[in-house]
Each structure stands twice: as structure tokens, then as C-alpha cells.
Amino acid sequence: MTTLRLKSAAARPADRVLAGFKCLLFVACLLPLARAAWIVLSGEAVNPVEFITRSTGTWTLIWLLATLAMTPLRRFGVGGWPLKCRRMLGLFAFFYLSLHFLTYLWLDQFFDWAGIVRDIYKRPFITVGFAALLLMTPLALTSTQGWMRRLKRNWGRLHRLVYPTALLAVVHYWWLVKKDLSQPLIYAGVLAVLLGLRLWWRWRRPGGV
């Protein structure tokens, strides 16, 4: 009993540090949105709709890649905190993706559903972007502890959809950019490293891939 109390007392400072870090991370995840709002409201954005669309899309990709980076960070020995922050980063990726899509629906297309359907069908970069949204929606909806208990092992299988989602997001950005491919190449390179590490670790397990 005394041992359990000592362990509990030792865990409390670590829990407080983690809670504080998660609060800071929450604020940090909102800063890009606050910055975008400030730029638009101050009149600095030449084309506000395009700026909001690009900003929310870029930060969707950044938070999505940050989510995928949490497992490698843990594997590299930085402690267990990355996995405890992974869900928040994933939900923020979905939040920015929702804003990105809402900007397109509302400010770009003015809820012209026929035009939106034509866009999804005829413009490949919008097709893959919409596919990424469809794949990411069930991941966000089932991110709670309750869904983890309900789905059990199927929860892990379902959340592997994050890999094709990230790939589609990179392709969406790549096809959107017509001239300077430097940024899409950076995101593609980061994704290749994150997925490559996972394949390497899986290959090194007994039985291989």
C-alpha cells in the first residue's frame, strides 16, 4: 500500500507537467488560425479567400504530419508524452481540414452544390482532397476512449487510414501547386521518412512485413 502511494505521489508532478504541456500545445495549435484571422482583418491579405484556403490547408498538412511523427519520437526514446499528445494533434488536423473545406464550400463556391460536384469530379486535386476528408472524418469521430473500447482491435485497423489520408493530402497540395514545387517536395519528403521508418521497424520484427 505504501509503495502504491509513493508511486502515485511520484506520478503527480509528471502528470501536472504533461497537463501544462498539453495546454501550451493547444494554444500553439490555435496560433496559426489567430494569425490568419489577424492578417485578413487587418487587410494585409490581397486575396483573403485564397489566403484562408491556403493557410488552413497548409496547417492541416503540418498537424497531420506532426501526428504521424509522435510514434517515431517515442521509438527514439523521448518518453511516452508524444503518444499522449497524438490525439490532440490529429483532432487539430481535422479541425483545420474542416475549416479548409468550409472555406471552399462557403467563400469560394457559395454552396453551389452542382458546381462543387463538378469540381470534385473534374479537378483531380479537389478529388483527392475530398477523398482525404472522407477518410479522416471517421478517424476524428472515433478518437474517444469510448470508441476505442467499442472497436477494440478494429480501432487500430481503422486508424491506419491516417496513412492514405496523409498521402492524399500531400498529393492534393502537390497537384494544387503549379510552378514552385519546393514546399510540396518538403512535405512529401517528411511523409516518406515517417512512413519509411514504420516499414523499417515492421520489416525488422520477427516474421518481417
Asked if residue 83 is part of any domain, the answer here is yes
Q: How many residues does the chain have?
A: 209
Is residue 88 in a domain? yes
- Domain of residue 129 covers 47-204
pLDDT at res. 16: 83
Tens of pLDDT, residue by residue over 88-131, are 999 999 999 999 999 999 999 999 999 999 999 899 999 999 99
pLDDT over 60 (residue 198): yes
Would you say residue 138 lies in a domain?
A: yes
Is residue 25 one of the residues assigned to a domain?
Answer: no
3-state secondary structure 179-191: CCCHHHHHHHHHH
Q: Could you tell me the maximum CA-CA distance found in the chain, to the nearest angstrom?
A: 68
**Per-residue confidence (pLDDT) for residue 129, from 0 to 100:** 95
pLDDT at 3 over 80: no
Residue ranges of E strands in 42-112? none
Indicate if the pLDDT at residue 140 is higher than 70. Answer: yes
Report which DSSP code applies to 208: -
- Tell me, yes or no, whether 30 lies in a domain: no
pTM: 0.89
pLDDT in tens, 25-35: 999 999 999 99
**According to the model, what pLDDT value does residue 8 have?**
47
Q: What percent of the chain has pLDDT over 90?
A: 69
The larger pLDDT score, comparing residue 62 to residue 45, is at 62
Look at residue 209 in the predicted model and tell me its pLDDT: 43
CA 8 to chain centre: 33
Amino acid at 152: K
Residue of higher predicted confidence among 12 and 175: 175
Q: Does residue 10 form part of some domain?
A: no
Total structural domains in the chain? 1
Q: How far apart are CA 199 and CA 209, in angstroms?
A: 7
Q: How far apart are CA 30 and CA 179, in angstroms?
A: 30
pLDDT of residue 7 exceeding 60: no
Q: What is the CA radius of gyration of the chain?
A: 20
So what's the pLDDT on residue 206? 61
The answer to whether residue 171 sits within a structural domain is yes
Is 166 inside a domain boundary?
Answer: yes
Segment among 8-17, 128-137, 199-208 with least mean pLDDT:
8-17
